[in-house]
């Protein structure tokens, strides 16, 4: 069941991020702070979090609008617990994000990922989901680790 994230999901989401192996310890600390800020915000925010809940949080996605653009959004996070991967959960979360943005009349969804060999499956996932590699910034994350930006037009 895909649903909006709730305050009670914070601990499970951090555990999911750690279990996914996609995040370094300092990145999960940043994620925790992002969640705290999200739930503490008194203003109406355009960004949103979705959770895949199967008797416990097994997947999550987070998107936010790109500042100073019209209809351009960034998928900042999508993760599925390793025990639940390759079951279509990531694709379902991504499809839900795309549907919500399309219904809102948004134009583009961008995704950034690493160019390392260990992220081959991530880049393959986006390609299979209809995303095109739009840009590559060499040595972005560190020497020898490129940032790759994928793009999908929403209709």
Residues 117, 82: contact at Cβ < 8 Å? no
What is the number of structural domains in the chain? 1
* Tens digits of residue pLDDT in 43-80: 566 788 888 777 788 899 999 999 999 999 999 989 89
| pLDDT classification of 20: cutoffs 50, 70, 90 | confident
Query: What is the value of pTM for the model shown?
Result: 0.88
- 10: domain CATH number is 3.40.630.30
33 lies in which domain range?
2-153
Supply angle C-alpha 101, 31, 152, rounded to 5. Answer: 30
């Amino acid at each position: 069941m895909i649903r909006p994230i709730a305050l009670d999901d914070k601990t499970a989401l951090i555990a999911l991020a750690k279990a996914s192996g996609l995040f370094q310890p300092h990145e999960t600390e940043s994620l925790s702070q992002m969640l705290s800020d999200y739930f503490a915000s008194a203003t109406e925010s355009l960004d949103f979090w979705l959770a895949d809940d199967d008797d416990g949080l097994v997947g999550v996605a987070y998107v936010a609008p790109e500042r100073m653009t019209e209809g351009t959004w960034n998928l900042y996070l999508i993760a599925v617990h390793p025990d639940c991967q390759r079951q279509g959960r990531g694709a379902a979360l991504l499809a839900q994000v795309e549907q919500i943005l399309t219904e809102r009349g948004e134009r583009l969804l961008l995704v950034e990922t690493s160019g390392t060999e260990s992220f081959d499956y991530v880049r393959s996932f986006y390609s299979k989901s209809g995303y095109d590699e739009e840009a590559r910034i060499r040595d972005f994350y560190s020497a020898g680790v490129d940032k790759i930006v994928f793009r999908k037009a929403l209709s």
